[in-house]
Chains A and B, each alone.
Chain A
Amino acid sequence: MKEIRWHGRGGQGGFTASRLLGIAASIHGGKHALAFPSFGPERRGAPVLAFTKIDDTKIHDRSEVQHSDYVVVMDETLIVAGFENGIKSGATILINTENIERYQSSLKNFKLVGLDATSLAMEVLGRPITNTAMYGALAAASGLVSLEAALASIRTEMNPKLAALNEKIVERAFDTINAQATGC
């Protein structure tokens, strides 16, 4: 089983992203998935967590996610003391940042991937909603779901107009991360 932890602020769409990944993996990827928010009350702007579990077989484990394989950070101000707790050593951490280098020493036990998701979202959506950009980045960096499945999940979940913009963001983010990985 692969476990993914999403960090965002209330209103940034972290829980939506966790569900999109679940839809891509299950409905469009033939696997099984659970997606859930950090339980309890939420409010706009406050730090919130969301989780996705993905496996080839039905997921029975209903306990909290304590050993994340992937962590996605939609707002880098959320990287504070205690952030590393519950992340597997060697796990991949994706951060919305203009400068991933600044985390290389403080998060040295992990594989780091950076994407300037805010600029990408501003360019395409005109709003700093970075969930789908980071979702596309995760798809590329992890291979948990294919690009096609990721795009299909957007169409499943969003109205056509919003879907078109977000599909564009996912594709751009996916290509950017792939280009980073191949060094071109």
Chain B
Amino acid sequence: MKSNKIFISGDEAVAQGVRLSRPHVIAAYPITPQTITVERLSEMCEAGEMDGEYMHVESEHSAISAAMGASSVGARTFTASSSQGLLYMAEGLHYCSGGRWPVVMMNANRSVALPWSIYGDQRDSLSLLDCGWIQVYVEDAQEALDMIIQAYKIAEHKDVLTPMMVNLDGFILTHTYELVEIPEQKMVDEFLPSFQTPNKMSFEEPKNLGFSSKPDDNTEFKYQQNKAMFDAIDVIRDVDQEFADKFGRKYHDMVEEYRCEDAEVVLVALGSVCGTIRVVVDKMRAEGKKVGLLKIRYIRPFPETEVKDLAKRVNAIGVIDKDISFGYEGTVYTNVNSAISKIDKYVYKSNFVGGLGGRDITKDEIEEMFNKLISGVENKSEEKVEFFSLNVETND
């Protein structure tokens, strides 16, 4: 395969992935650290490098509304946001998933005000887990580009018809330049045929879109929406395999296990910090410590089977959360813990909350987390939830 590698940022990689996916309509409002993505797309539409129409909207609420409207009549659509902008979309996010419109969105993970912060954490998207969107988190710019292309194929699948959010860490991924392979348009076209909406109307097949429901049928709609999310798991697997066969890059479906084969202690995380954890795992493995990483790629649908399978094989699981659900614990931990509780075995568990508002997560801190998990198993400790960079437990 001919190599076409260029040195670009995560934001630009997303824009390239969108260009290759040939959306008909892009409706987005710029917000740091997503801005470069929508600037590039706007430029590409203006220069005629892509056929889609870029709609200049006055807000994120309008962006998701326009994207939904276009998607409902069969257009492939894209939007992008971050932080406050994503939250301003929140009403539309539920509306969009309920309408079963397969909009694809890029979200640049950024902290949520107050205090005002443009820096990265994952509180924006994790606070919206229940809005009915498929959520995937990527680790580098290549994965960001590839997942935009995969996202359309997954979201538009007849068994899924659910919008999808591709999350990449603000600044750490959006503003870091690295080598990215740009797939050939012809190959992307072969992989991703045009979207065929099931909403097409005719006299033979009349339809009703965006309707009301009553108490006697609402639950049926919500059942179908939930079932589609579960059915997406098989589609995610198939699409990833087909992508690997076509482009030679495989992303291990719902989760990726790194050096977990014989691991005793494992850290679970989402997004770019997984890269740093790999480096620490390699160092500690060289010292004879049996540690590993579980990279959660999809948190909706949730990889329950994979988490349970791992929990059966290990002694301790720590979860890094760049998020906190005030009054309880990190949201990723709550989800992982729910899966672990369904197996009949003692596993020492710990939640490491940190990296908030852009604070660096260092290799030393990650090594300390692994060491805490190792000693937690030895002492048969109760679970711990801590703000790791402050070295305090949440209930202190």
Chain A residues at the B interface, C-beta cutoff of 8 Å: 19, 22-23, 26-27, 32-37, 39-41, 59-64, 66, 156
A-B residue pairs, 6 tightest by C-beta: A60-B275, A39-B171, A36-B176, A35-B177, A64-B360, A62-B272
User: Which residues between 1 and 39 of chain B lie within 8 Å of chain A, taking CB atoms?
Assistant: 5-7, 32
Q: Nearest chain A CB to B280's CB is how many angstroms away?
A: 9
> Is B361 close to A, CB under 8 A?
yes
The residue on A at minimum CB distance from B169 is A62
- Give A32 to B362 CA distance when docked, in angstroms: 21
With a 10 A CB-CB cut-off, give which of B172, B178, B363 has the most chain A CB atoms.
Answer: B178
B279 touches A61 (CB 8 A): yes
> Is B179 close to A, CB under 8 A?
yes
- Give A66 to B272 CA distance when docked, in angstroms: 18
> Is B119 close to A, CB under 8 A?
yes
> Is B259 close to A, CB under 8 A?
no
With a 10 A CB-CB cut-off, give which of A41, A60, A62, A156 has the most chain B CB atoms.
Answer: A62
> Is B237 close to A, CB under 8 A?
no
CB within 8 Å for A63 and B177 given contacts A23-B7, A39-B358, A40-B119: no
Task: Report 9 cross-chain contacts, Cβ distance below 8 Å, ordered by A residue.
Answer: A19-B7, A26-B5, A35-B178, A39-B175, A61-B363, A62-B172, A62-B173, A63-B362, A64-B360
A63 / chain B contacts, CB cutoff of 8 Å: 276, 360-363
A64 / chain B contacts, CB cutoff of 8 Å: 360, 362
> Is B308 close to A, CB under 8 A?
no
Interface flags, B341-372, vs A, CB<8A=1, else 0: 00000000000000000101111000000000
> Is B273 close to A, CB under 8 A?
yes
Number of chain B residues whose Cβ lies closer than 8 Å to a Cβ of chain A: 27
B119 / chain A contacts, CB cutoff of 8 Å: 39-40
Q: A22-B177, A35-B7, A35-B177 are known; give 10 further A-B pairs, CB within 8 A.
A: A26-B7, A27-B5, A27-B7, A36-B176, A39-B120, A39-B172, A39-B175, A41-B32, A59-B275, A62-B273
B118 / chain A contacts, CB cutoff of 8 Å: 40-41
A33 touches B276 (CB 8 A): no
> Is B313 close to A, CB under 8 A?
no
The residue on B at minimum CB distance from A26 is B179
B175 / chain A contacts, CB cutoff of 8 Å: 36-37, 39
> Is B94 close to A, CB under 8 A?
no
The residue on A at minimum CB distance from B358 is A39
The residue on B at minimum CB distance from A157 is B7
B360 touches A32 (CB 8 A): no
- Give A173 to B279 CA distance when docked, in angstroms: 36
- Give A27 to B171 CA distance when docked, in angstroms: 22
B40 / chain A contacts, CB cutoff of 8 Å: none
B278 / chain A contacts, CB cutoff of 8 Å: 60
A32 / chain B contacts, CB cutoff of 8 Å: 178-179
Q: Nearest chain A CB to B150's CB is how many angstroms away?
A: 21
A60 touches B276 (CB 8 A): yes
- Give A72 to B292 CA distance when docked, in angstroms: 37
The residue on B at minimum CB distance from A66 is B362
B363 touches A27 (CB 8 A): no
With a 10 A CB-CB cut-off, give which of A22, A34, A41, A156 has the most chain B CB atoms.
Answer: A34
Interface flags, B173-186, vs A, CB<8A=1, else 0: 10111110000000
A27 / chain B contacts, CB cutoff of 8 Å: 5-7, 179
- Give A69 to B6 CA distance when docked, in angstroms: 26
A34 / chain B contacts, CB cutoff of 8 Å: 176-178
A61 / chain B contacts, CB cutoff of 8 Å: 275-276, 279, 363
Q: Nearest chain B CB to A43's CB is how many angstroms away?
A: 14
The residue on B at minimum CB distance from A24 is B7
Interface flags, B320-359, vs A, CB<8A=1, else 0: 0000000000000000000000000000000000000010
Q: Nearest chain A CB to B25's CB is how many angstroms away?
A: 31
User: Which residues between 219 and 256 of chain B lie within 8 Å of chain A, taking CB atoms?
Assistant: none
B177 touches A62 (CB 8 A): no
B363 / chain A contacts, CB cutoff of 8 Å: 61, 63
With a 10 A CB-CB cut-off, give which of B120, B177, B272, B275 has the most chain A CB atoms.
Answer: B177
